[in-house]
Every structure is written in C-alpha cells, then in structure tokens.
Homo-oligomer: A and B are copies of this chain.
C-alpha cells in the first residue's frame, strides 16, 4: 500500500494532457454510477458512461496506478478517490471571478464549482455601479480590492469574465497579485509569464466550429460525385 502510494506519486508526474482532460469526465460518470448504486465498474462500463472507448479508459487510468481488479473491474469509490487525488481536488482551491456581467453571474451561481471543491473567494467588477451588489451570497468588490482578495483569500486561480478589452489588464493584475492559474472567458488572446497556467473557453468559437460542420453538411456533398 505504501509502496503503491510512492509509485503513484512518481507516475502522476507525467500524465499526458489528453488524459488529464478526460479525468474530470470519468469523475462525473463515476458519481452517476455511485448514485445508481453501482460499487464496481468495468472499463467498458465506465467508457459507455463517459462517452469514450474502453481502451482509452484503461490507458488513462493506468497512468494513475494499478487500481483495477482483473476479471472484475474498478471499485467505484476507490477510483473516485484516486482520480480526485490526481486532479488535486482533495484540497480546496480558492477562486476569484473578475467581471460580474451576465457570464460572471452565471459562473458565480454555477453549482458545479462548489461541488468539486472550488470556493469562490471574491467577485470583482470594474463598474462602480455594480460594486456592493450581492450575487450568489457574495458582495461584489471593486477592482482596487483585487490584490487584497487574492492575498488574504489564498486565491491561486483567477477567472476572467470581462469584456475582451479589459481582459489583458485584469490578467496582469491577477498575475501581479500572485494568481498562478487563469481561466479566460473573454474573447481575447492573453499573454502570461512562464509558470502561470492559462486556459480559455470561448463560447462563440464552439458555435463557429458547429457552423463549419453544418455548412459542410448542407453545402458540399454533391460536389464530390464524379
């Protein structure tokens, strides 16, 4: 057991990005299975619940260690534990959300954050008219308070939900305050120094990708018949 722990820690160092991105999906699928009363699940079963194939599940889970039982499958509870561990979800992360427009509101109220161990330490908005407003049980604070919120709240993750024009400025302030991971919802390309992780979610981008496929479906098919 202690030996396995040692190996798991060593292996955790190089989980491929593609696998990391699927771990949260497995986690959600496992929650569903647990609620349905399942105590064990095969790679095949988990694959179906997560919407991938079983080879991928086994390869992904093998990066965490050998927690399956041949002939049986994986213990649901145990697997939840190991994945949560690998993702660092056993500790509580504090998050600050900057920009309390429509999207900021939605993010502040999003149940998925709290349920996965993320604590919203503060809501920040540059608009003085918004400061003081109560959203999702928190009071919106001014941009001047950003630094204090990050430092006293032990915040390591910043979420940017401002208009595109303000995003880089806010990003710089977050970094200056000590945030080391940033999730950007603003439709802008941001620059961050080394050591800071940056991910982005672009709502319009996804729609444009769908547009491409939709376009292909309706427009081109008959162009191929020789």
A interface residues, Cβ below 8 angstroms from B: 9-10, 12-13, 15, 20-21, 23-25, 27-29, 49-51, 86-89, 91, 93, 95, 101-103, 105-107, 109-110, 112-113, 115-118, 156-157, 159, 180-183, 187, 189-190, 195, 197, 199, 201-217, 219-220, 223-224
Contacts and interface: CB of A to CB of B under 8 A. Distances in A.
Contacts of A107: 203
A175 to B, nearest CB: 14
A161 to B, nearest CB: 9
A118 B207 contact: yes
A61 B105 CA distance: 37
A64 to B, nearest CB: 12
Contacts of A204: 24, 110, 112-113, 115-116, 118
Contacts of A51: 189-190
A118 B76 CA distance: 42
A26 to B, nearest CB: 11
A219 B88 contact: yes
Contact of A25 (B181, B197, B205): B205
Contacts of A93: 207, 211, 214
A87 B211 contact: yes
Contacts of A110: 102-103, 203-204
A37 B144 CA distance: 33
Contacts of A89: 208, 211
Contacts of A219: 9, 88
Nearest to A15: B212
A137 to B, nearest CB: 14
A189 B102 CA distance: 25
29 contacts: A9-B219, A9-B223, A12-B216, A13-B223, A21-B209, A25-B202, A25-B205, A27-B208, A28-B189, A51-B190, A86-B212, A87-B211, A87-B215, A88-B211, A93-B214, A102-B110, A105-B106, A106-B106, A116-B208, A118-B204, A118-B207, A156-B214, A157-B207, A157-B210, A157-B211, A157-B214, A183-B207, A197-B213, A199-B209
